[in-house]
Structure 1
């Protein structure tokens, strides 16, 4: 196979875009391990007092990831996120106004490999979330495991990431006076294992926990579909029942995180690497589904709202799929 190298005369802007995505990829894949290693090395060095002080801070701050996190306006507005946006490019599209006196649960679909659209749109201001939805604060839910890593937890909370545990979601959507948006990648880790170009299958039929919490706290539901999310990476073939898929499922059950074996392009060549393809991502925020607070929702209440949610998600996809160039006979499949 002939390797296609990137030309030397690439404009500076494109190089900055590549650098921005590279640092984001490093943050997702390696920063947690580096932070943990730094903490251990400090503990074993003459600077051990700093780890002791941080451990005390960690004990005092342990519940913050489940209590709304610690967003930083400054971090969310870093210039690097604008270069990150322009790499794909990434676009956030509003289809309806949202009342800032209400709390919302955004159901984000599809999960993709690394939730690039979810991060860029809801953990940064690069696509103008606060401008499009004034008075609302977005929080992307992430597996609780990552908030136990020293230093790393503080960094990801600055962007608006919070724990995905039930108490964390309940805290966000029960805020008096509203104004909170909890963004849930509904398909979760299992859906990431099927994220590849052309995939339109969503794991949502049996995902009803967010529906129940919406009812209990009266949070309005909003379907979100990110066209292009699955086009960023290829994956090794891992059909259901294969040895690789069984191994991935077992690791997921043990560690709680997905281990997709993905690849795309490199930094200096276009044939192979872990950098995502330069594919446009259009993230559409649908119309809100009003939810009447039901402190003790019945199974029928949950099923009814879940059906309404899937209908709204389907309508959102069908109304806008032509913008991304999808054919009329391409439809979502729910499992």
Structure 2
């Protein structure tokens, strides 16, 4: 490839990633500002009409969302995924007549691998898993923001509350995939290079959800996710960690202090390989007992650790490094 073409390609990749980081961290505020400006301007009637429609459409994030194949196939997502690059690795066949709960690890700072693989077609999800429809679960608070909620739903994002996941997993015909970052926002505070720390020992809600709907559990691990940013040191017991953990329930989001290339919010060019493991069949159990939840949780943790150990050498993880479960 000529040098000029290579530079152009790299430039497009950087722009694609920067616009995504802005979308994640700043677009919601811009959308709010646009709505307020419309309300106080000559176009106030448009804002009022949108708010009326928003009220009527308020349940969409909890009833499967409103994905758009056109948005998922935008060229910008190919540049976005090529920047790192991001890849999706299939290890087993998934029957499209079944329903699946993809449990993703680790959360990372910005859940980059999950977005690239499950909210776009840049890494070929539909080609690798024909007949399956992925939906990435996101905190409900984001779906209360005008315009922004419509944009994120177009990629396949839906609310992460239980009613939303239950609606998806109970739809007839199979083919539905709920993708959940099991560690939640607090796991972002653990996201540091070379430290695969997962919050999972007390995370059993996803296990109960799978049992209640008979959805097969699929462990998913994104190698390289924690290497995309550096984080200001916040060891457990420090004042910074205490402040972050205290604010999380109030704000609903974690507040990791992080930086990437050149000390900016641009992530490092580190490959992210999202490995989709073999499904764990789950028997439909509408009212699971605690013993059944604990048993399936133990099996799931075993399969997750096995997935990590089987693939870590291929993706540059030192042999002495193992998952740390908290």
TM-score tier, shorter chain, comes to over 0.9
Q: Larger % of helix: which?
A: 2
Distance 2:27 2:4 in 1: 29
Specify the alignment match of 2:241 in structure 1: 245
Query: How is 1:226-237 mapped onto 2 (pairs within 5 angstroms)?
Result: 226-237=222-233
Specify the alignment match of 1:158 in structure 2: 154
Specify the alignment match of 1:29 in structure 2: 25
Q: Is residue 2:285 matched to residue 1:333?
A: no
Distance 1:319 1:9 in 2: 38
Q: Deviations over 1:233-289 (max 9, x none)?
A: 000011112111111112111111011100011xxxxx3111000000010000000
Specify the alignment match of 1:76 in structure 2: 72
Shift of 1:10: 6.3
Shift of 1:16: 0.4
Distance 1:127 1:273 in 2: 26
Shift of 1:101: 0.6
Aligned equivalent of 2:281, options 278, 290, 294:
290
Shift of 1:46: 1.2
1:182 alignment partner, SS class: strand
1:327 alignment partner, SS class: coil
Aligned equivalent of 1:318, options 309, 321, 325:
309
Shift of 1:11: 1.0
5+ residue gaps, structure 2, are none
Aligned equivalent of 2:53, options 52, 57, 64:
57
Shift of 1:175: 1.0
Distance 1:60 1:179 in 2: 28
Distance 2:249 2:238 in 1: 17
2:254 alignment partner, SS class: coil
2:131 alignment partner, SS class: coil
Distance 2:104 2:162 in 1: 17
Q: Is residue 2:125 matched to residue 1:129?
A: yes
2:121 alignment partner, SS class: coil
CA RMSD of aligned residues (A): 1.2
5+ residue gaps, structure 1, are 1-6, 266-270
Shift of 1:84: 0.6
Shift of 1:8: 10
Aligned equivalent of 1:186, options 174, 182, 189:
182
2:178 alignment partner, SS class: strand
Q: Deviations over 1:49-96 (max 9, x none)?
A: 011100111111000000000000000000000001100001000000
What TM-score results when the alignment is normalised by the length of structure 2?
Answer: 0.98
Distance 1:327 1:259 in 2: 29
Q: Is residue 2:141 matched to residue 1:145?
A: yes
Specify the alignment match of 2:212 in structure 1: 216
Q: Is residue 2:186 matched to residue 1:200?
A: no
Distance 1:98 1:236 in 2: 40
Distance 2:233 2:282 in 1: 40
Specify the alignment match of 2:84 in structure 1: 88
Structure 1 stretches of 4+ moved >2 Å:
7-10
